[in-house]
Structure 1
Amino acid sequence: MLQLSNYPRMRTLASRSNSYELCRQITAKYAKTFYLGTLLMPEAKRRAIWAIYAWCRRTDELVDGPQSSTTTNETLDGWEKQLECLFAGDPLDDIDVALVDTLQHFPMDIEPFRDMIAGQRMDLYRSRYETFEELNLYCYRVAGTVGLMSTAILGVDTSNHTAPWNRDKDVLIPTEEAIALGIANQLTNILRDVGEDARRGRIYIPLEELALFNYTEDDLFKGVVDERWRSLMRFQIQRARKFFTLAEKGIRRLCADSRWPVWTALMLYQQILDAIERNEYDVFRQRAFVSGPRKLLCLPIAGLRSKVL
């Protein structure tokens, strides 16, 4: 269980290299598809992304981890105070060291981090979402924020602003697209994990959309896969793909050395939706995943897209 630090203040913390290695291990263990994309980044960027992911993972574990039953609002208050220490350059545990170093090299705003903690607070007291508008806010907080954090590391292409007639123009930062990618990924997670979430008593598909397809909470908890469910899942997958399409439009604005890994990560996550379709929308008894050969096939296609799109 990744949890809040209880280390004495005088404890000698890990070196930066060892801290980044801990972050790498966390990313490789818990986000295999995402981790593959990071390996295509320059070293400084991939290490920074690992540090961000490790913090996000630890934040999520407070509510969804093995010991989440002991997490309270006060727990998250303490985590937010630890976050403020990080932004003040004061790491409190070994994994913090990498994030403090990342913040020194890639300055970013604290608000997306705070918003993510707010998303975890939602999970403390909510197990249902009535409308997509409510779910969309949750998805922004727990995943759209990751897009904002990552953009500061990935960097924005400013090569078109070197000409004298472009120097006074604002650099276009793909903020909306970055948030869209995070939301698309979270919607994909929700669809992949319907069965797992149901076993924990949670339903993330909006209740009014269940009703729209005449599918009940009881049906979901029983794992009923029929034409009602398949129609509902097709509707959900179509929405997720719209967010992916919006996200794609922002990749061209990123630094050249960031486009290939982002295309790779995006395409691999899209393929989870393809896997759900191949499994005939049975997310109760079959886990959708992307096979090794499919991942490898994705790499050259993503590389080509990074150069021409």
Structure 2
Amino acid sequence: MPQPPTSAPQNFDEYCAQKAAPAGSSVYYALRQAPLARQPFLTALFALRRELEETVKDTSDPTVGRTKLAWWQKETAALAAGQPSHPVSHALVKHCVDIEAEAPTLRTLVAGFEMDLDQARYLDFPNLARYIERVGGAFAVAVARATARDTRHAEAWAPALGNALMLAQFVQELGNDARHGRIYLPIDELQRYGVTAAEIVNRKYSPAFSELMRFQTTRAREALQAALAAIPAAERPTQRTLRAQSAMALALLDEIERDNFQVLHQRIALTPIRKLWIAWRAARRR
């Protein structure tokens, strides 16, 4: 199970910042757009997600991964009871207004990552959507509620934004995910475009691959644009972190398309200065 680092209470926030948002990362610039008072809680949320990602992606033995995720499920129950043991959990309890109410969403997030240990491929998009909704949609709800004016209605619009961000992430991380034994593009879509899993794993580019990725990129872009448009007018000023994330994701999709989808052998990324500008501008757009 995860072994929490030895850390004095005042270092919990520092631990979360180093885990979730190293300087120059997209998360770093997205978090800096949030109200100062809410940044520590949001940082802890992103740190939790990063802990879970590392558990499933850096663990070669599924049995060990399940043991670690079971520990995190118990930890979410413990933090809801005010008895955290991990630095991330301490930070969540410290900065969340109502951690007991937030715990079910965190448990959904853990359960979503558990799917990574049971399934590395998805037959079609409806099957993939169940994974996306747990890992992407649930997380976006927690992020949205952290700063929302009306937390009761966040579940009506935030999941679509989290799901769309996941679709964009699948495009960017396709090569890296394949090296970890996972391909999040549905099998029937690969078949439709005449691309095999072996070609992705072996980093083989082709006109068919380009067309497949054009479809994936277009779907992610349209989903992001639709989800952004669906944010209620009253909540647009409160959702600077999610809006900054989405703007950076859209810019990155454009960059990947300009580079003819060369994502199998490299991780295409925006420069830090460009991330800063995009995040700052998106957060202030009405």
> Aligned-pair distance for 1:294?
2.3
Select which of 204, 212, 219 maps to 2:192.
212
Alignment correspondent of 1:167: none
CA displacement at 1:43 relative to structure 2: 1.9
CA distance in 2, matches of 1:201, 1:69: 12
Unaligned runs of 5+ in 2: none
Deviates more, 1:99-108 or 1:82-91: 99-108
2:71 maps to which residue? 78
**Which is worse superposed, 79-88 or 215-224?**
215-224
On the 8 A contact 2:176/2:267 being kept in 1, the answer is no
TM-score by length of 2: 0.89
Identity %: 28
Spell out, residue by residue over 1:40-70, the C-alpha distance to the aligned partner (whole angstroms, 9 max, x if none).
Answer: 2222211110111111211222211256656
Q: Structure 1 CA distance, aligned partners of 2:86 and 2:280?
A: 39
Residue number in structure 2 paired with 1:175: 155
8 A contact 1:188–1:269 mirrored in 2: yes
Q: How does 1:47-196 map to 2 (within 5 A)?
A: 47-65=40-58, 71-104=64-97, 108-156=101-149, 173-196=153-176
* 2:8 is the counterpart of 1:4: no
Q: Which residue of 2 aligns with 1:44?
A: 37
- Farther off after superposition, 108-117 or 291-300: 291-300
Give the conservation status (yes or no) of the 8 Å contact 2:176–2:264: yes
Match of 1:203 among 151, 176, 183: 183
Higher mean C-alpha displacement, 26-35 vs 179-188: 26-35
* Cα 1:149/1:304, change in 2 over 3 Å: closer
Aligned length: 285
* Counterpart check, 1:252 vs 2:238: no
Structure 1 residues 293 and 62: CA distance shift in structure 2, 3 A: closer
Preserved contact between residue 33 and residue 279 of structure 2 (Cα < 8 Å): no
Distance 1:73 1:300 in 2: 39
Q: In the TM superposition, what is the alpha-carbon distance from 1:130 to its structure 2 partner?
A: 0.5
Q: Kindly provide the amino acid, as one letter, of the partner of residue 253 in structure 1.
A: A
Give the partner amino acid of 1:247.
A
Q: 1:14 maps to what in 2?
A: 8
Cα distance per residue 1:106-141 (max 9 Å; x no partner): 663322211111112211121110000111111111
Q: Distance in 1 between matches of 2:87 and 2:279?
A: 33
Larger deviation, residues 223-232 vs 124-133 = 223-232
**Shift in Å at residue 235 of structure 1?**
0.8
SS at match of 2:231: helix
Tell me how far apart the structure 1 counterparts of residues 102 and 129 of structure 2 sit (CA, whole Å): 22
Q: CA deviation at 1:251?
A: 5.7
What SS is found at the alignment partner of 2:96?
helix
Are the aligned partners of 1:129 and 1:207 in contact in 2 as well (CA < 8 Å)? Answer: yes
For 1:14 and 1:252, locate their aligned partners in 2 and report how far apart those are by CA, in whole Å.
Answer: 41
With 21-30 and 136-145 compared, the bigger mean Cα shift is at 21-30
Q: How far 1:95 sits from its partner (Å)? A: 2.9
8 Å CA contact 1:188–1:273 kept in 2: the answer is: yes
Residues 268-307 of structure 1 show CA distances to partners (whole Å, capped at 9, x for unaligned) of 12112112112111111232111234224324532442xx
What SS class does the counterpart of residue 234 from structure 1 fall into?
helix
Partner amino acid, structure 1, of 2:38? K
Contact in 2 for aligned 1:173/1:253 (Cα 8 Å)? no
Aligned residues of 2:29 and 2:279 also touching (Cα < 8 A)? no
Q: 1:68 to 1:290 in 2, by over 3 A?
A: farther
Supply the distance in 2 between the matched residues of 1:303 and 1:213 (Cα, whole angstroms): 37
Per the alignment, do residues 268 and 110 of structure 1 end up closer, same or farther by CA in structure 2, a change over 3 Å counting? same
The 2-side partners of 1:93 and 1:301 are apart by 35
Q: Distance in 2 between matches of 1:300 and 1:137?
A: 32
Contact 2:81 2:100 survives alignment (8 Å): no
Counterpart of 2:242 in structure 1 is 262
Is the contact made by 1:85 and 1:91 (CA closer than 8 Å) also made in structure 2?
yes
* TM-score normalised by L of structure 1: 0.83
